[in-house]
Amino acid sequence: MPTSPAAKTDGASREDYLRSRWDDALAAKMDPVERLIYRSNILGADARITNTGGGNTSSKIEVKDPLTGERTRVLWVKGSGGDLRTATKANFASLYLDQVLNLRTLYEKNEHRGPKTPAEDAMVGMYPYTTFDRNPTASSIDTPLHAYIPFAHVDHMHPVAVIALATAKDGPALTREVYGNDVIWTNWQRPGFELGLELERVCREHPNAKGAILGQHGLINWANDDKECYLLTLDLIRRAQEFLDARAGKADFGGAKVQALPEAERRRVLVEVLPWLRGKVSAEKRQIATVEMREEVLEFVNSHDAPRLAELGTSCPDHFLRTKIKPLYADWNPEGGNVESLKTVLEAGLTQYRADYAEYYDHCKRPDSPAIRVSSPSVILIPGVGLVAWGKSKSESRVTAEFYNAAIGVMRGAERVSQYIALDRQEAFDIEYWLLEEAKLKRMPAEKPLDRQVVLVVGAGSGIGKGLLARLLGEGASVVAIDRDGDSAVAAGNELQKKVGMGIGVAGTGISGAGQIVGLGADMTDRAAIRRALSEAVVAYGGIDQVVVTAGYYPNPDDKGEVGDHEWARAFAINVTGPYLVADERVDLAGAQLERRALERLHAGVGLGHVGRAKHDLAHRRSGQRRKAAACPPSTFTICPVVLLKSPFRNAVIARI
């Protein structure tokens, strides 16, 4: 059976991303459906060929119909959802091809038909009636794109280099220049039944064409042999890539307007600003962050043209469904790295962004449009620093970052050879608020109790702490596993990450490219070590919501039943000072993340335990060591204190067990 590429590569990989990954010996052992899955997996191997979850593939395969015993043509086409790289047979719908083609008769009976009509959307509901062999996989809206192209194999990709041509002002002329008559330009049209008919027309009128550019959107190409189709896809992308590369010369994006901050400075700015920013973008729903600081991203955010291009937004429908109509560009001068001035710029930017989003919704909405969705940006561009993407989980925010990375590549190419044109606002709205997209969102599984939460577990390398990790992950949390024994924390994190899987999306610089869990070494009795670990957690996920301390130490009395001073000191350090330091550093971080009112509630503390109160006292009464000692009376030294700092957005509770 096919084995999918281990991981998706992207612009960070300097290998030739368009090399053939086809293995004849492997393919020879496969049946036609397995070969389709194999082709799909290797096409999905690199984000520059197609984005995570983007694109689809098909094969028209003749088989014996179990109903009649006669030969029949079956369209195997990637269904709704899933990703090409990891697709299995379960991701492919199988439909009686002739029945799908016959749907045209039904469609043409509608007097009011055409792109974006209810008649066109209604065809999606007809595909299940054409199912072959009781296959339960739901067909995607792209099904007719594959059915109506009269070739056995079809690949539809979202390659960065080709979308650069598809979003260029001179797209049709550039297509002719790059491809001659091999690839035909088609204007933007929302995917659906009409686009299928349009592609049928292209094939009829251009019998020698091998593919078409879908304006603003991507590439579709075809062949009667599957390997030939795969190699053609790579070749067409390569022709676009080489065309763009040959035009590299002067600086992209109008050159640098500002310089990137040194890496350590970028990190300092992020640690100071991210928890605060996360609080701001989570006003409607809590979000998890992914930070991108790769060279290409920095080149873009630092450039003269970034504000203009950012305002235009992304183009490929897959991209903008995640990145929203546009990112928020922070018009900030990074020189000196003044975080307060960045916050001021971001605060004003967020207000403007939300107003713009409401205006976009009001201007474009239709009588039956779904209600306005979250109006905070999902991508924030910070000159000198990089890009911050937001999502409901780590995996989702990585996807958003991946898609804006792709969009930067698209804009770079388009601007090199022409001028970048974004998708028309109304067209973008009609995708974003499409009733079929809304139905897809409604079919999403309900969120888990700890989705959108970042939980830090101290003492996670063994025992209760380690046991807790799986439970937290299972309930949806993003988890930072910390232990004094760094190796055990990293091992616990890696083991569980393997179990839950990396999720989707190829993006994130350094620790921000993490999965749902990351393991770190830190001694909680060392304030500097704790501060470093919390900083790592912030760069990884954007902030911290809950802290659990399970680390503890039980001193053994000697033969006389006495505990030596050294043992006492150790027990006190681990059981009392450690949790205090974690909570103390955490509260400082919370100060950045919370609104002032919430912070006051945290301090005033209905139900607030000793450690939090000690922090309050320290901060406001300066009563010092006496209070610190009162945080955990000496009588508790034989009992491991477990400190639970519950969500700062609700009540803060510290419990000792």
- Residues in touch with Zn ion (CB under 5 A): 218
With beta carbons less than 8 A apart as the criterion, state whether 650 and 633 touch.
Answer: no
CB of 48 vs Zn ion, minimal distance in Å: 15
Tell me the closest approach of the beta carbon of residue 339 to Zn ion, in angstroms.
Answer: 40
Q: In the sheet that 183-186 helps form, which strands lie side by side, from edge to edge?
A: 92-96, 71-78, 56-64, 153-157, 218-223, 211-214, 183-186
How far apart, in whole angstroms, are the C-alpha atoms of residue 80 and residue 91?
A: 8
Q: What minimum distance in Å lies between the beta carbon of 156 and Zn ion?
A: 6
At 584, list the tokens: 């103390």
Exposure b/e, 269-295, CB count within 10 A at least 16 = b: bbbbbbbbbbbbbbeeebbbbbbbbbe
Q: Would you say 115 or 463 has its CB closer to Zn ion?
A: 115
Q: How far is the CB of 214 from Zn ion (least distance, A)?
A: 7
Shorter beta-carbon distance to Zn ion: residue 218 or 542: 218
Minimum distance, C-beta of residue 202 to Zn ion, in the bound complex (Å)? 16
End-to-end CA distance of the chain: 52
Phi, psi of 144 (to 5 degrees): -65, -25
| Nearest residue to Zn ion on Cβ basis | 218
Q: What is d(CA 582, CA 279) in angstroms, rounded to the nearest whole number?
A: 20
The C-alpha atoms of residue 631 and residue 609 are separated, in whole angstroms, by 8
Pairing between strand 56-64 and 153-157?
Answer: antiparallel
Give the nearer residue to Zn ion in terms of CB position, either 213 or 492. 213
* Least distance between Zn ion and beta carbon 218 (Å): 5
Q: Shortest Cβ distance from residue 579 to Zn ion (Å)?
A: 51
For Zn ion, give the closer residue by CB, 11 or 218: 218
Rounded to the nearest 5°, which phi and psi values hold at 537? Answer: -60, -40
Distance CA 5, CA 18 (A): 14
Distance CA 435, CA 370 (A): 7
User: Which of 156/394 has CB closer to Zn ion?
Assistant: 156
Contact 394, 503 (CB under 8 A): yes
Q: Tell the smallest beta-carbon distance from residue 234 to Zn ion (Å).
A: 18
User: Residue 80 to residues 136, 153, 283, 393, 419: CA-CA distances in angstroms?
Assistant: 11, 18, 31, 21, 33
Q: Which is nearer to Zn ion, 155 or 536 (CB)?
A: 155
Q: Which is nearer to Zn ion, 123 or 220 (CB)?
A: 220
Least distance to Zn ion, CB of residue 436, Å: 14
Contacts with 497 (C-beta within 8 Å, 6 or more apart), sequence order: 515, 516, 517
Q: Shortest gap between Cβ of 126 and Zn ion (angstroms)?
A: 21
Nearer to Zn ion, 195 or 540 (CB): 195
As measured in angstroms, the least distance from the Cβ of 318 to Zn ion is 6
Which pairs count as long-range contacts for 500-503, CB under 8 Å and 24+ apart, including other chains?
500/473, 502/7, 502/395, 503/393, 503/394, 503/395, 503/396, 503/398
Rounded Cα gap, residues 561 and 282, in angstroms:
53
Of the two residues 154 and 611, which places its CB atom closer to Zn ion in the complex?
A: 154
Residue 479's H or E segment, with its range, is strand 478-483
Q: Give the containing element (helix H, strand E) for 92.
A: strand 92-96
Query: Is the Cβ of residue 55 or residue 461 nearer to Zn ion in the bound state?
Result: 55
Q: How far is the C-alpha of 163 from the C-alpha of 173, rounded, in Å?
A: 14
When the beta carbons of 80 and 575 are compared against Zn ion, the nearer one is 80
